[in-house]
Amino acid sequence: MTTVRTAAVIGGGIAGPVVAAALHRAGIEATVYEAYPTRSGAAGGTLALAPNGIAALEIVDAAEAVDAVSQPISRQVMAVGDKRFDLPRLSDVGPLRAVHRSDLHGALHDRAAALGVRTEYGKRLVDARESGESVTAFFEDGTSTTADVLIGADGVHSAVRRLIDPGAPGPHCTGMIGVEGLADIEAPVDRETMTFAFGRRAYYLYWREATGGTRWGANVPHGPLTLTEARRTPNDVWAKRLHDVYGDDLPGGELIRRTDPAGLQVTGSLHIMPSVPRWHRGRMALVGDAVHAPSNSSGQGASLAIESAIQLARCLRDFGRVPEAYAAYERLRRPRVEKIAGRAARINRAKAPGALAQKIMPLLMPLFVKATMNPEKTLGPAQRYRIDWENPATADAAQV
């Protein structure tokens, strides 16, 4: 039986409200501390939730709310030039769900609040100190809070990660900028198909929005750029850059031309997290993107963050001592997230094929899909993963 009664959760993105809700279900009072001054601070484009992520949300009764604000994607197609190849899928686990980050953020915070979780805004962490059986978090506004444990759910630029290990690696820039828009045309695909396209110079994806138009996302080659720097650049400039990169592609060029520059969403440089040596120290631990942020090629970033949030709460529930709970949590999660991140990194390297690759990919792709894209092998381990909340975490951790 746990001795933990209170938790301070730093960061209110995706993992934050989920871990707080799961802790509440485990009988631990959790409060979320968010650096943004208001709830509207959550920004970003569209992301995909995999079936395993939706299954994890069921544990905190948030899956139905997320389904209501997301769009099912039951078919995925790879496009190389004018060739189209259906990507294998698991037919019995449910579709991917495409959801705007702000809608997901709202649904998760509403669910956490309904459970009694409190969120305090304008709380930027600057330090944390342990004393006996507690840890105190200090914020930029001069306030502080004390709890039994402190959980860093504060993203790839995590302040908690640096407190746990000042020498911890930071996120790696992928050399890509994320840009998203909504074109006022209907792509010639059904509403549950997402197309991954290899353009002449860069990679992009698109799907038809349920409410009309075609949503697209592009990975534009670019040097490191913060979100603030990216948004300081006028959208008209980004529109010209997009036209230069994708203007000769079909339908990429038309999607760019039929998108109002005022509606472009620029998310800054895309990052991945290298392997983090220390996931926890004393009464502090990391969760979500703060400790594992795979390339967006994985399609698993948000889902892995949600899973880890649930497992961390489960371990704190079932282990009597905090160090044992944290060690079990890392033992249950590290192998899984690092395996998925490694596979995504290999896929990421193929997103911008050169001229020769462009010519031979249409010839090789059918053979590649047939020979290597066994859905049970490539998708099964990730998408069939389920957390048995009712089973003691002590039993699972003993088997790892």
- The residue with greater pLDDT, 228 or 86, is 86
Is the pLDDT at 350 greater than 60? The verdict is no
Helices 15-25 & 101-114, crossing angle to 10 degrees? Answer: 20
pLDDT for the residue 366 = 60
- The residue with greater pLDDT, 138 or 40, is 138
Do 24 and 118 contact (CB within 8 A), yes or no?
Answer: no
Cα distance between residue 104 and residue 61, in whole Å: 14
Tokens, residue 23: 């802790």
List, for residues 272-302, the tens digit of each pLDDT value. 888 999 999 999 999 999 999 876 767 899 9
CA 213 from centre of chain: 25
- pTM recorded for the entire structure: 0.91
In CATH, the number for domain 172-271 is 3.30.9.30
pLDDT for the residue 344 = 64
Cα distance between residue 198 and residue 329, in whole Å: 38
Tokens, residue 29: 């009072």
For range 333-349, the mean pLDDT: 79
pLDDT band at 361 (very low <50, low <70, confident <90, very high): low
* DSSP 8-state secondary structure symbol assigned to residue 222: -
Cα distance between residue 249 and residue 372, in whole Å: 28
Percent of the chain exceeding pLDDT 90 equals 66
Q: Domain spans of the chain?
A: 6-72+96-171+273-353+388-399, 172-271
Cα–Cα–Cα angle for 114, 115, 121, nearest 5°? 75
pLDDT for the residue 73 = 95
Query: Which H or E run includes 266?
Result: strand 265-272
CATH of 6-72+96-171+273-353+388-399, one of 3.40.50.12590, 3.40.50.300, 3.40.50.1370, 3.50.50.60: 3.50.50.60
Q: Of the ranges 177-186, 265-274, 352-361, which one carries the lowest mean pLDDT score? A: 352-361
Judged by DSSP in three states, 93 sits in coil
Is the pLDDT at 370 greater than 90? The verdict is no
Residues 261-271: b if buried by 16+ CB within 10 A, e if exposed: eeebbbbbbbb
Cα distance between residue 220 and residue 112, in whole Å: 35
* C-alpha closest to that of 125 among 268, 304, 286, 302: 286
Q: What's the whole-number average pLDDT of the chain?
A: 89
* DSSP 8-state secondary structure symbol assigned to residue 298: G
pLDDT for the residue 293 = 83
For range 82-109, the mean pLDDT: 90
* C-alpha closest to that of 46 among 104, 92, 88, 125: 104
For range 142-161, the mean pLDDT: 97
pLDDT band at 356 (very low <50, low <70, confident <90, very high): very low
pLDDT for the residue 372 = 53
Q: Of the ranges 190-204, 234-248, 293-307, 365-379, which one carries the lowest mean pLDDT score? A: 365-379
6-72+96-171+273-353+388-399 and 172-271 agree in CATH topology: no
Is the pLDDT at 164 greater than 90? The verdict is yes
